[in-house]
Chain A
Amino acid sequence: MTLRPHTLVHACAAALAAGCLGATLWHGIAERGAALAFGVLVAVGELVRYHGPRPHAGRRPGDGAPPGAGPQPRNGPRIRQAAPLAAAGSLAYALLGEAGGRPSHHGAAQVVAVVLAASLLGSVPHIGRGRGPTRDRLARRTLTVGFVAVCFQPLYGRGTFDDWGGPAHALLLLVLLSLSALCDAVLAAVLAHSRTGWPFPPVLRDELRALPGIGAAVVATGAVMALGVAVVGLWALPLLSVSLLLAQLSYRRYAAVRATYRQTIASLARATEIAGCTPAGHARRVADLSRSVGRDMGLTEPDLMVLEYAALMHDIGQLSLVDPVPAGATAALPVQEQRRIALLGGAVVRRTGVDPKVAGIVERQAEPHREQPPAARIVRVVNAYDEKSRAGGPGGPLTALEELRLGTAGEYAPEVVESLARVLSGAAGAKEYGDGYDDGGGRP
Chain B
Amino acid sequence: MEALPTRARMYVTGVAAAGLLCLLPALPLPSVPLTRTLPSVSGPGASWGAVASFAVLYAGCERLARSRHLGAPSPVGTFHPVLLAAAFLLPPSAAALVVLPGALLAPVEQRPLLVRRIWRAGRLTLAVWAASRAHLAAGGREAVADGDVPAALGAAGASVLAFCLVLTLLDRGVPAPAGGVPFRRGSRAPRPEGRRTTRRTTWWGLFLRSLAPVTVHGLAGLMMALLWRSPYGPGAALLVLLPMCVSWWAFAQYHRERAAHQATIRALVQAVDIKDGYTRGHSERVGQASTMIARELGMDDERTEVLRFAGILHDVGKLGVPTRLLTKDGPLTPEERRVIELHPEYGHEMVRGISFLGEARAAVLHHHERLDGSGYPYGLAGGQIPESARVVAVADAFDAMTSNRSYSRARPVPVALEELQRCAGDHFDPRMVEALVRAIGRTGWHPAVTAEDAGRFPGSPGPPVTEPVTEPVGEPAAARAADADAGPPGVRR
A residues near B, CB below 8 A? 53-59, 63-64, 165-167, 169-171, 174, 213-214, 216-217, 220-221, 223-224, 227-228, 230-233, 235-236, 239-240, 242-244, 246-247, 249-251, 253-254, 257-258, 260-261, 263-268, 270-271, 274-276, 319, 322, 324, 348, 351-354, 438-442
Whether B219 lies near A250 (C-beta < 8 A) is: no
Q: Are B261 and A223 in contact (CB under 8 A)?
A: no
Residues of A within 8 A of B150 (CB): 235
> Which residues of the other chain, B, contact A257 by a CB distance below 8 angstroms?
254, 257-258, 261
Closest Cβ neighbor of B267 among chain A residues: A352
0/1 string, B201-243, CB within 8 A of A gives 1: 0000000000000001001101100110011110110011011
A240 to chain B, nearest CB (A): 6
Are A216's CB and B262's CB within 8 A?
A: no
Could you name 29 residue pairs across A and B whose Cβ atoms are closer than 8 Å? Answer: A58-B358, A64-B353, A165-B231, A167-B235, A174-B239, A214-B246, A216-B242, A217-B245, A220-B239, A228-B223, A231-B226, A236-B226, A239-B149, A243-B244, A247-B244, A250-B251, A253-B251, A254-B250, A254-B253, A267-B351, A270-B353, A274-B319, A274-B320, A274-B346, A353-B260, A353-B262, A354-B264, A438-B355, A439-B353
The answer for the CA separation of A57 and B354 in the assembled complex, in Å, is: 10
Q: Which B315-348 residues have a C-beta within 8 angstroms of A?
A: 316-317, 319-324, 346
B230 touches A227 (CB 8 A): yes
| A residues near B317, Cβ cutoff 8 Å | 274
- Contacting pair B319 A271 (CB below 8 A): yes
Give B355's nearest chain A residue, CB to CB.
A57
Nearest Cβ distance between residue B28 and chain A, in whole angstroms? 33
Which A residue's beta carbon lies closest to that of B354?
A263
What residues of chain A lie closer than 8 Å to B358, measured between beta carbons?
Answer: 57-58
The answer for the CA separation of A253 and B254 in the assembled complex, in Å, is 7
Q: Is B356 an interface residue (CB 8 A)?
A: yes
Min CB distance, B122 to chain A, in Å? Answer: 28
On whether the beta carbons of A442 and B250 are closer than 8 Å, the reply is no
A354 pairs with B232, CB closer than 8 A? no
Task: With a 10 A CB-CB cut-off, give which of A165, A216, A438 has the most chain B CB atoms.
Answer: A216
Task: Tell me the smallest distance from the CB of A252 to a CB of chain B, in Å.
Answer: 9
Chain B residue at minimum C-beta to C-beta distance from A274? B320
Contacts known (A213-B250, A319-B319); A274 close to B243, Cβ less than 8 A:
no
Q: Are B354 and A260 in contact (CB under 8 A)?
A: yes
Bound-complex Cα distance A54 to B216 (A): 28
Do A235 and B149 contact each other (CB < 8 Å), given the known contacts A267-B351, A267-B353?
yes
Give chain A nearest CB distance to B126 CB in angstroms. 26
Asked if B355 and A243 sit within 8 Å, CB to CB, the answer is no
Which chain B positions have C-beta within 8 A of A64? Answer: 352-353
Going nearest first, the 6 A-B pairs with the smallest beta carbon separation are A440-B353, A353-B263, A247-B247, A250-B250, A220-B242, A274-B320
Hey, which chain A residues are within 8 Å of B231, CB to CB?
165-166, 231
Q: Is the CB of B264 within 8 A of A217?
A: no
Q: Is B349 an interface residue (CB 8 A)?
A: yes
Assess whether A254 is in contact with B264, with CB atoms less than 8 Å apart.
no
Q: Which residue in A53, A240, A249 is a CB contact (below 8 Å) of B223?
A: A240
Point out the residues of chain A lying under 8 angstroms from B33, CB to CB.
Answer: none
Within the complex, what minimum Cβ distance (angstroms) separates A441 from chain B?
A: 6
Q: A246-B243, A264-B264 are in contact. List 18 more A-B contacts (CB 8 A).
A: A170-B232, A214-B246, A220-B239, A221-B239, A227-B227, A231-B230, A232-B226, A242-B219, A247-B244, A250-B254, A267-B354, A268-B264, A271-B319, A276-B322, A352-B267, A353-B261, A353-B263, A438-B353
Known contacts A244-B243, A319-B271, A254 near B254 by CB under 8 Å = yes
Out of A223, A265, A271, A322, name the residue touching B320 (CB < 8 Å).
Answer: A271
A-B contact count (CB 8 A): 216
Q: Which of A249, A251, A440 sits near B352, CB closer than 8 Å?
A: A440
- Chain B residues with Cβ under 8 A from A217's Cβ? 242-243, 245-247
Contact of B239 with A224 in the complex, beta carbons under 8 Å = yes
**Is residue B189 within 8 Å, beta carbon to beta carbon, of the partner chain?**
no
Q: Are B232's CB and A268's CB within 8 A? A: no
Contact partners of B349 in chain A: CB under 8 A: 270, 274
Chain A residue nearest to B349 in the complex (CB)? A274
CB-CB under 8 A from B75, the residues of chain A are: 250
Q: Give the distance in Å from the alpha carbon of A376 to the alpha carbon of B240 in the complex.
A: 44
Measured in the bound complex, the distance between the Cα atoms of B349 and A231 in whole Å is 60
Interface status of B471 (Cβ within 8 A of chain A): no
Could you tell me if A243 and B251 are in contact, using CB atoms closer than 8 angstroms?
A: no
B350 at interface by CB-CB < 8 Å: yes
Which residues in B have their C-beta under 8 angstroms from that of A243? 216, 219-220, 240, 243-244, 247
User: Judging by beta carbons under 8 Å apart, are A170 and B233 in contact?
Assistant: yes
Whole-angstrom CA separation of A348 from B346 in the bound complex = 20
Q: Do B323 and A213 touch (CB < 8 A)?
A: no
* B267 contact from A258, A260, A353, A441, Cβ within 8 A: A353
Q: Tell me which residues across on chain A come within 8 A of B316, comparing CB atoms.
A: 271
Contact call B235/A170, Cβ cutoff below 8 A:
yes
A231-B233 contact, Cβ under 8 Å, with A268-B264, A440-B353, A441-B352: no
B402 at the interface (CB under 8 A from A): no
A353 contacts B264, CB within 8 Å?
yes
For A253, the chain B residues whose CB sits under 8 A away are 250-251, 254
Q: Is B268 in the interface zone, CB < 8 Å from A? A: yes
> Is the C-beta of B359 less than 8 angstroms from some C-beta in chain A?
yes
Asked whether any CB of chain A lies closer than 8 Å to the CB of B259, the reply is yes
Is B233 within 8 A of A442, CB to CB? no
Say whether B243 contacts A247, CB under 8 Å: yes
Closest to B245 in A: A217
Partner of A249, one of B220, B247, B270, B353: B247
When chains A and B are docked, how far (Å) is the Cα of A415 from the Cα of B11? 68
Q: A170-B236, A227-B230 are in contact. Are A63 and B270 (CB under 8 A)?
A: no
Considering the complex, give the chain B residue whose CB is closest to the CB of A258. Answer: B257
Residues on the A chain within 8 Å of B322, using CB: 275-276, 324
Rounded to whole angstroms, the CA-CA distance of A244 and B321 in the bound complex is: 50
Assuming A224-B223, A227-B236, is B350 touching A232 (CB within 8 A)? no
For A88, give the chain B residue with the smallest CB separation. B243
Partner of B219, one of A57, A165, A239: A239
Instruction: Give Cα A214 to B356, complex, Å.
Output: 25
Contact between A351 and B270 (Cβ–Cβ < 8 Å)? yes
CB distance from A214 to the nearest CB of B (A): 6
Cβ-based interface call for B147 (8 A): yes
Chain A residues, Cβ within 8 Å of B407: none
A150–chain B nearest beta-carbon distance, Å: 23
- How many angstroms between the C-alpha atoms of A227 and B147 in the bound complex? 13
Verify A246–B352 contact, CB threshold 8 A: no
B246, B264, B324: the one contacting A247 at CB < 8 Å is: B246
Q: Which residue of B lies closest to A56 (CB)?
A: B355
Bound-complex Cα distance A253 to B346 (A): 30
Which residues of A have CB within 8 Å of B179?
none
- Evaluate contact between A263 and B350: CB separation under 8 angstroms: no
Taking CB atoms, residues of chain B closer than 8 Å to A275 are 319-322
CB distance from B266 to the nearest CB of A (A): 8
Q: Identify which of A174, A228, A274, A441 contacts B227 (C-beta below 8 A).
A: A228
Across-interface contacts of A233 in B (CB, < 8 A): 147, 149
* Cα distance A120–B319 in the bound complex, in angstroms: 50
For B266, what are the chain A residues with a Cβ–Cβ distance below 8 Å?
Answer: 353
CA distance A39 to B370 in the complex (A): 59
Residue of A nearest to B251 (CB): A250
Least CB separation from B234: chain A residue: A167
In the complex, A210 Cα to B236 Cα: how many Å? 23
Residues of B within 8 A of A251 (CB): 247, 250
Check B262–A169 contact: CB distance below 8 A: no
- Of chain A, the residue at the smallest CB distance from B144 is A232
Distance from B460 Cβ to chain A, minimum over Cβ atoms (Å) = 10
Asked if B265 is at the interface (CB within 8 A of a chain A CB), the reply is yes
Contact B232 A242 (CB under 8 A): no
- The answer to whether B324 touches A322, judged by C-beta atoms less than 8 angstroms apart, is yes
Q: How far is the CB of A256 from chain B (nearest CB, A)?
A: 8
A130 to B476, alpha carbons, bound, how many Å?
54
Nearest-CB distance from A80 to chain B (Å)? 12
Residue in A58, A221, A442 whose Cβ sees the most chain B Cβ within 10 Å: A58
* Separation of A275 and B147 alpha carbons in the complex (Å): 69
